[in-house]
Chains A and B, each alone.
Chain A
């Protein structure tokens, strides 16, 4: 009976230490924690943890996750340096190769094109082609056929977006700074109105007209000094209105370029640079 009681007393004591005694630094525990950080999106800490066990566990998944984490941290060069840790036989080789290309693209979109003939499996080739075609949008000179640009995009929404970007790139709704200047020279303020700044245009027209009238009226009344003052101020407003119209057209065009770049970036980020969906966190 005593033995039975003692055994019953000892069982929880035996079980308890096993459940609470813990070595945080065991490689398998570090890996579990690193996976948790990775799935939480805390890539910087995840990388640190993975790297501390990288040489002990020799695991391709860990190597790829390190590469992926660095890429998400925006450290593309370091991410690409990790490619050498993934052997050709690894199941992550294709994914790593594509991530390498994405990193190259994110560093410099045009720099990706030198890898156009890098041997890759067909599904990755298609993704690479999408990136290469998108990279042409970053060129100043753009004269590609629309069908060629759209050819790697099979998804209907992607095709519509890329088609819209193509139209914006080939025929941007720019306003001519020269035309804005000429219009303002002929009718003060009309250059601003052409750019769409109606309020400024009307103000320019009124102010220049007012000073011209004051100058004319004072010349007529033989108030020469005052007339010249108004002529000077009027000329200043007139010249300012021409300069302002040219500047407005340039600002308008810069905004078109900015919106285009933003749209392109947003599209790529939404599509995650055509990276496959990895099932690491489920």
Chain B
């Protein structure tokens, strides 16, 4: 026959075990609640609940997950400095190489979005030489390509994406953008013949105006010399003709830069709205 003491001990043991399990659940529940808010894109409240959990959870059990998801919440709220802070904390708290890598990539993505691409590239370089991540070269190249896109270096972006796969969708796109871009230096040198640089960039009216001004001041300068009005010739030539001639060269270069900006902006809009792959 089982003694009363044994029954009592068994009862107490089971009760305490249940309480223990419930106690573990209260933190887990809080984490799940915060995560649910995050998944519902209620980022402000999600951050509050993650902060609450971190404040009371002395064991730091959820430190990585909370900081990582807070980083993402802040990122989606365009609070990049806060996002960086929490990704950095999450990186310190990472338990596995995968988590460590995920945090570092998020930090890189924030730097790409903030256009501190030199920093993103430096961080990518440090990842590339780290033996822990030697099997992640495609992933590293993928984000390196994005860093080049945001630093407006479409040629390097195309080359980097093609290292993953020669027919990579982004490699093809970047290559096509790079081919469409005007060469500001070429526009400048073509303008040695007034208006030619503007014609190269498709600005025909501006090219014609440039030709007109240069013909006018050129004629007046040459005419002044022919009529022996040397001072007139020198002054018109140096201060007016030269002014319009050099203006024509600067103008052609400016057009090429502006056209390139239009092209790259439309490419970025395409990437933002239509590209379905991973984005920073």
Contact = CB atoms under 8 A, between A and B. Distances in A.
Contact of A33 (B56, B229, B239): B56
Contacts of B60: none
Nearest to B61: A20
Contacts of B137: none
Interface in A15-71: 16-17, 20-24, 29, 32-33, 36-37, 42, 45, 48-49
Contacts of B30: 24
A48 B229 CA distance: 83
Interface string A1-20: 00100100010011011001
A22 B229 contact: no
B92 interface: no
B261 interface: no
Given A13-B16, A210-B239, A21 B22 contact: yes
Contacts of A48: 48
Contacts of A23: 26
B94 interface: no
B235 A210 contact: yes
B51 A17 contact: no
Interface string B48-63: 1001110110010000
A136 to B, nearest CB: 38
Interface stretch (A143-151, A173-181, A211-219): A211-219
A217 B232 contact: yes
Given A20-B27, A33-B55, A13 B232 contact: no
Contact of B235 (A14, A214, A221): A214
Interface of chain B: mostly helix, strand, loop or mixed? helix
B23 interface: yes
A226 interface: yes
A218 B27 contact: no
Given A210-B235, A226-B220, A20 B24 contact: yes
A217 B12 contact: no
B231 interface: yes
B126 interface: no
Given A6-B9, A10-B12, A217-B229, A22 B23 contact: yes
Given A48-B48, A217-B231, A16 B23 contact: yes
Contacts of B23: 16-17, 20-22
B113 interface: no
A151 B22 CA distance: 65
Instruction: Kindly name the residue among B52, B53, B235 whose own CB sees the greatest number of chain A CB atoms within 10 A.
Output: B52
B220 A13 contact: no
Contacts of A24: 26, 30, 52-53, 56
B17 interface: yes
Contacts of B16: 10, 13-14, 17
Interface residues of B, number: 29
B20 interface: yes
B156 to A, nearest CB: 39
A173 B265 CA distance: 45
Given A21-B26, A45-B51, A214 B236 contact: yes
Nearest to A220: B229
Contact of A221 (B5, B27, B56, B229): B229
B13 interface: yes
Instruction: Kindly name the residue among A6, A24, A42 whose own CB sees the greatest number of chain B CB atoms within 10 A.
Output: A24
Contacts of B5: 3
Given A214-B232, A214-B236, A217-B229, A21 B19 contact: yes
A29 B30 CA distance: 14
A213 B235 contact: yes
Contacts of A6: 9, 13
B48 A17 contact: no
Given A20-B23, A214-B235, A29 B56 contact: yes
B66 to A, nearest CB: 14
Interface of B: 5, 9, 12-13, 16-17, 19-20, 22-24, 26-27, 30, 47-48, 51-53, 55-56, 59, 220, 229, 231-232, 235-236, 239
28 contacts: A3-B5, A10-B12, A10-B16, A13-B17, A16-B20, A17-B20, A17-B23, A20-B20, A20-B23, A20-B27, A21-B26, A22-B23, A22-B26, A24-B52, A24-B56, A29-B56, A32-B55, A33-B52, A33-B55, A37-B51, A207-B239, A210-B235, A210-B239, A213-B235, A214-B232, A214-B236, A217-B229, A217-B232
Given A17-B19, A21-B23, A213-B235, 14 more contacts: A10-B12, A13-B17, A13-B20, A16-B20, A16-B23, A20-B23, A22-B23, A24-B30, A24-B53, A33-B55, A45-B48, A48-B48, A217-B232, A226-B220
